[in-house]
Amino acid sequence: MVNTSDIMSLALKLAGLTEIPQDSGIVVEGENIKEYYLELIWTLLNFYLQGN
């Protein structure tokens, strides 16, 4: 499915950032993330839409 780097890349894109902020990051790398992926995407989309 996706990994933690994919999720971070999507979050950065939605936030309009090119670099990971200093107060954020990936502490534990993960692969094949399936659970909660759709919920995460929905949450990020809602934040994005509220900002526009």
For residue range 36-47, list pLDDT tens digits in order: 667 777 787 888
Q: How far is CA 30 from the centre of its chain?
A: 13
Contact 44, 14 (CB under 8 A): yes
Q: Tell whether the model's pLDDT for residue 35 goes beyond 80.
A: no
SS3 content of the chain, % helix, strand, coil (to 5): 50, 5, 45
Distances (CA, A) of 4 to 25, 31, 51: 10, 7, 24
Q: Is the pTM of this model over 0.75?
A: no
As a whole number of angstroms, the distance between CA 39 and CA 52 comes to 20
Q: What's the pLDDT score for residue 7?
A: 84
